[in-house]
Amino acid sequence: MDKKDEKNLKIRYLTWLYKTVKEAFDRYERKFTQLEIDEFILKEIEKELKGSYLPQEKKALEKLVNGFRNYIAEKEKACLKLKYKGKKIEPEFIFLDVKLESIEKAIAGEFGKCALDKIKEGYQQEMLKRIMEQKEAR
């Protein structure tokens, strides 16, 4: 095996490793970022609907808004349960965070920051592609 083949094997392995660990880590983190977005959307909905609907629409709209508010509260409970054991952070979350940082250092150290940026961008594009394909399949 020549040096180029060896380099290609390493970059493929590090890319696979980054992808698998990042996906596992994102299972924790995405819920918290979703909460931030959901709370922003709820505030915008409440602001937009405040006094701008007809009396006969009020009850139905309040029911929908309260449903969304309850959805956010339940998601927050699930997030906290996923990431924390009691008052301590889940050890798997800590491990995945440290492992991901270590993989990123290995990529940057072996192939440079540009290679790391390229892998991160490829991961982002793949996740967006999956989302778009899911939407189309519905």
Task: Please tell me the predicted confidence (pLDDT) of residue 138.
Answer: 52
Look at 37-46, 58-67, 94-103, 122-131 and tell me which has the smallest mean pLDDT: 58-67
CA distances from 85 to 80, 81, 89, 94 (A): 8, 7, 6, 12
| Tokens found for residue 22 | 């990042």
Residues in the chain: 138
Greater confidence (69 vs 60) lies with 69
DSSP secondary structure string, 87-135? TEE-HHHHHHHHHHHHHHHHHHHHH-HHHHHHHHHHHHHHHHHHHHHHH
pLDDT in the model for residue 136: 59
The domain in which residue 46 lies consists of 3-137
Sequence-distant (≥ 6) Cβ neighbours of residue 61 within 8 angstroms: 49, 53
Task: Calculate ∠ Cα 98-104-105, nearest 5°.
Answer: 90
Phi-psi region of 54 (alpha: psi -120 to 50; beta: other; left: phi over 0): beta
CATH number of the domain where residue 93 is located: 1.20.58
Compute the average pLDDT of residues 2-11: 92
Per the structure, the count of domains in the chain is: 1
- Of residues 52 and 85, more confidence is placed in 85
pLDDT band at 98, cuts 50/70/90? very high
Q: Which two tokens stand for residue 47?
A: 């602001």
